[in-house]
């Protein structure tokens, strides 16, 4: 008789979560083959460690362009522009989603979810700030397809203790690469509210969705199943995948670090597939180049980087680069995330945007600082 180890059970559970079209807490046991034990594993070693299952949103489905923008500014304006950007994180009509903290240099690393209908006008704000001398330059990198997100593999992350397994860094795991169309689908404010809630926690109850949207539970279920999840058709779902989100303070030793990989290649799918097999990878996306975020213990980063470099060269990558920083969610220098939901920017069937107001707001902040 053979027995599954804890690692093997957790791998089965994570595979079910990542491959589900709808995260159904009640179906974990049947789909994983673990029966009632799946629920115990989830409660004790995922939610019990303050980890959460979250939905990775296919922003293309709702007409948004996921874009990273590097904004270069003069040192004397760093503080005031950072304060302005912090306010804009929660301002309706501006699509800044995450703001990297500038630790002394003259560069902001920002993430934006920009409606495709106003994409050029949105970048026009930066052009106007450039003309005004408020910023010195910018580069925008727009994702071509939804990001691939993964839970950390149990071979390197111990879900029983909430910490790293040390000592073995150079091996691969088999992971499924999803393909996702980017065609938009019909949606409304209710759908966006539900998507936002699933982005925070895939286990959000129908009762909570109903309370947040002012609908009955049955009405909320219709929006969830038929609209958000595309009636069970993954090609129409607003949710690209699910993953166990592990970035929680206190779960790691202080030496947890992030490695951000950037590489160019003529064989993009092959490079993404090679990177996905490295168990420390949390996210992969492609814009003008392929970018991957990896988290791991400081003690193993050189070995992990060697594995990344080998994978990149094996896929014919060129202009390979990487940089390392203390662990933070998404952005390389720490980040502030927008606390608001997607529906705050959507009214009467369209995305709202007023470029003039945004430019005036930033200009006034700079003028006030100059007077002070």
Is 72 domain-assigned? yes
In angstroms, what CA-CA distances link 124 with 30, 121, 128, 348? 52, 5, 6, 24
Does 140 lie in the same domain as 83?
A: yes
Q: Is the pLDDT of residue 332 over 50?
A: no
CATH code of the domain containing 355:
3.30.70.920
- Is residue 8 in some structural domain? yes
64 & 105 share domain: yes
* Most confident of the ranges 136-145, 245-254, 326-335: 136-145
Same structural domain, 88 and 20: no
Q: What is the pLDDT of residue 50?
A: 85
Query: Is residue 102 situated within a structural domain?
Result: yes
Summarize pLDDT for 164-198 with one digit per residue, the tens. Answer: 888 777 788 888 888 888 999 999 999 999 999 99
* Mean residue pLDDT across the chain: 88
- Residue bearing the bigger pLDDT, 33 or 104: 33
DSSP class per residue in 273-337: HHHHTSTTEEEEEESSSEEEEEEEEGGGHHHHHHHHHHHHHHTT-EEEEEEEEE--SSSBTBEEE
65 and 130 in a single domain? The answer is yes
317-339: string of b/e by CB count within 10 Å (b at 16+)? Answer: beebebebeebbbbbbbbbbebe
Residue 331 confidence (pLDDT) above 80? no
User: Rounded to 5, what percent of the chain is helix, strand, coil?
Assistant: 40, 25, 35
What whole-number percentage of the chain has pLDDT above 90?
A: 55
Q: How many domains does the chain have?
A: 2
Q: What does the pLDDT look like over 221-232, one tens digit per residue? A: 999 999 999 998
Report DSSP letters for 323-365, one per residue: EEEE--SSSBTBEEE--S-GGGGEETTEE---HHHHHHHHHHH
62-114: per-residue pLDDT in tens? 999 999 898 999 988 888 999 999 999 988 899 999 888 776 678 888 899 99
- Domain holding 37, by residue range, is 1-45
Residues making up the chain, counted from first to last: 372
Please indicate, yes or no, if residue 297 is contained in any of the structural domains.
no
- CA–chain centroid gap for 134, Å, is 29
- Specify if 223 maps to a domain: no
* 8 Å CB contact between 315 and 267: yes
Whether the Cβ atoms of residue 227 and residue 191 lie closer than 8 Å to each other: yes
Residues 103 and 139 in one domain: yes
* Residue at 41 is within a domain: yes
What integer pLDDT is reported at residue 253 of this predicted model? 65
Say whether both 39 and 106 belong to one domain.
no
Residue 305 lies in a domain: no
d(CA 306, CA 171): 11
pLDDT tens digit string along 235-266?
Answer: 899 999 999 988 765 666 667 888 888 888 88
Q: Is residue 293 part of a domain?
A: no
Considering the domain architecture, whether residues 87 and 125 belong to the same structural domain is answered as: yes
> In this structure, are 74 and 109 located in the same domain?
yes
């Amino acid at each position: 008789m053979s027995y599954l180890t804890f690692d093997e059970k957790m791998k089965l559970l994570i595979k079910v979560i990542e491959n589900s079209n709808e995260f159904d807490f009640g179906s974990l046991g049947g789909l994983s083959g673990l029966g009632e034990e799946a629920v115990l594993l989830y409660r004790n070693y995922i939610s019990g460690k303050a980890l959460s299952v979250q939905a990775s949103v296919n922003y293309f489905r709702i007409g948004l362009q996921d874009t990273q923008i590097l904004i270069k500014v003069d040192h004397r304006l760093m503080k005031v522009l950072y304060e302005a950007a912090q306010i804009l994180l929660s301002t309706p009509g501006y699509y800044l989603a995450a703001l990297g903290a500038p630790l002394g240099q003259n560069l902001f690393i920002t993430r934006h979810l920009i409606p495709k209908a106003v994409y050029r006008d949105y970048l026009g704000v930066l052009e106007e700030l450039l003309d005004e001398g408020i910023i010195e330059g910018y580069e925008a990198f727009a994702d071509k397809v939804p990001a691939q997100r993964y839970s950390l593999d149990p071979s390197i992350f111990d879900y029983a203790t909430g910490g790293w397994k040390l000592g073995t860094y150079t091996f691969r795991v088999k992971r499924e690469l999803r393909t996702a169309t980017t065609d938009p689908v019909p949606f409304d404010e209710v759908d966006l509210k539900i998507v936002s809630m699933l982005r925070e926690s895939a286990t959000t109850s129908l009762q909570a969705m109903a309370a947040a949207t002012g609908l009955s539970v049955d009405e909320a279920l219709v929006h969830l199943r038929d609209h958000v999840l595309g009636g069970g058709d993954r090609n129409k779902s607003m949710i690209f995948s699910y993953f166990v989100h592990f970035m929680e303070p206190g779960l790691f030793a202080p030496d947890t670090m992030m490695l951000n990989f950037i590489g160019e290649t003529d064989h993009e799918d092959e490079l993404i597939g090679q990177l996905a097999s490295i168990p420390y990878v949390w996210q992969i996306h492609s814009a003008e180049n392929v970018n991957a975020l990896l988290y791991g213990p400081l003690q193993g980063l050189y070995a992990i980087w060697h594995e990344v470099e080998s994978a990149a060269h094996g896929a014919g990558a060129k202009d390979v680069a990487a940089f390392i920083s203390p662990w933070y969610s998404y952005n390389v220098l720490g980040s502030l995330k927008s606390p608001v939901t997607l529906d705050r920017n959507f009214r009467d069937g369209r995305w709202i945007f007023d470029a003039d107001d945004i430019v005036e707001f930033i200009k006034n902040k700079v003028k006030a600082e100059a007077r002070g």
